[in-house]
């Protein structure tokens, strides 16, 4: 019985730590800059570094699975946000960081873009950092291929 109570006390949820989101994104950016990507995610070395960093910072065991789930959640949010921004006549209001669409437009958007309505009344928190993380703008080299890349890499033609 005592062991289960210790395990519960040693677990945290990311929502219970307001600063976690920004810190997680910053640490992921640092790891991606230092170690790069492995297909659609960070490299294994980076995940190990992140587990160690957050486990020590919050004095509990934080697994790679938990961090990966948070990564996937942020990436899904960013992809949804990007799809909304990419719409022709998107109605984005930079001052309020929201979209000026009618209720009918939101209903239609929810049919084509999963979870679009999560941005109905609020913008994407940390949008610029997430763009840097998932679009790879922080990396060097124009041929860098990253999960968020929508256009083919630049290829210089030599004649």
Dump the DSSP string for 87-137: STT--EETTTTEE---HHHHHHHHHHSTTGGGGSSS--TTHHHHHHHHH-T
Model confidence at 97, pLDDT cuts 50, 70, 90, reads: confident
Largest CA-CA distance found in the chain, in angstroms, rounded: 74
Cα–Cα distances in angstroms (integers) from residue 95 to residues 99, 122, 123, 149, in the given order: 10, 12, 10, 26
Asked, for residue 142, whether it belongs to a domain, the answer is no
* Structural domain span for residue 72: 18-135
Structural domain count, the chain: 1
Model confidence at 14, pLDDT cuts 50, 70, 90, reads: confident
Asked, for residue 8, whether it belongs to a domain, the answer is no
Asked, for residue 148, whether it belongs to a domain, the answer is no
Model confidence at 136, pLDDT cuts 50, 70, 90, reads: low
Q: Determine which of 23-27, 42-46, 65-69, 140-144 has the lowest per-residue pLDDT on average.
A: 140-144
pLDDT 10s digits, 65-86: 999 999 999 999 999 999 999 8
Asked, for residue 63, whether it belongs to a domain, the answer is yes
Model confidence at 12, pLDDT cuts 50, 70, 90, reads: confident
Asked, for residue 152, whether it belongs to a domain, the answer is no
| pLDDT at position 159 over 80 | no
- Which own/partner contact pairs does 13-21 have at CB distance under 8 Å and 24+ positions apart? 14/70, 17/58, 21/74, 21/125, 21/126
Instruction: Report d(CA 136, CA 16) in Å as an integer.
Output: 29
Asked, for residue 6, whether it belongs to a domain, the answer is no
The predicted model scores a pTM of: 0.77
Q: For residues 52 and 157, is the Cβ–Cβ distance under 8 A?
A: no
Asked, for residue 57, whether it belongs to a domain, the answer is yes
What is the DSSP secondary structure assignment for residue 36, as one 8-state letter?
Answer: -
Asked, for residue 2, whether it belongs to a domain, the answer is no
């Amino acid at each position: 019985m005592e062991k289960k109570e210790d395990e519960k006390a040693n677990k945290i949820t990311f929502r219970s730590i307001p600063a976690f989101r920004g810190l997680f994104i910053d640490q992921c950016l640092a790891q991606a800059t230092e170690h790069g990507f492995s297909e659609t995610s960070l490299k294994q070395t980076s995940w190990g570094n992140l587990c160690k960093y957050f486990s020590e910072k919050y004095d509990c065991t934080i697994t790679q699975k938990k961090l990966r789930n948070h990564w996937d959640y942020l990436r899904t949010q960013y992809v949804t946000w990007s799809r909304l921004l990419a719409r022709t006549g998107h109605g984005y209001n930079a001052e309020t960081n929201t979209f000026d669409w009618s209720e009918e437009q939101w209903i239609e958007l929810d049919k084509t873009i999963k979870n679009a309505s999560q941005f109905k009344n609020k913008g994407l928190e940390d949008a610029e950092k997430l763009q840097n993380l998932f679009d790879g703008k922080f990396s060097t080299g124009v041929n860098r291929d990253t999960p968020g890349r929508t256009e083919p890499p630049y290829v210089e033609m030599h004649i």
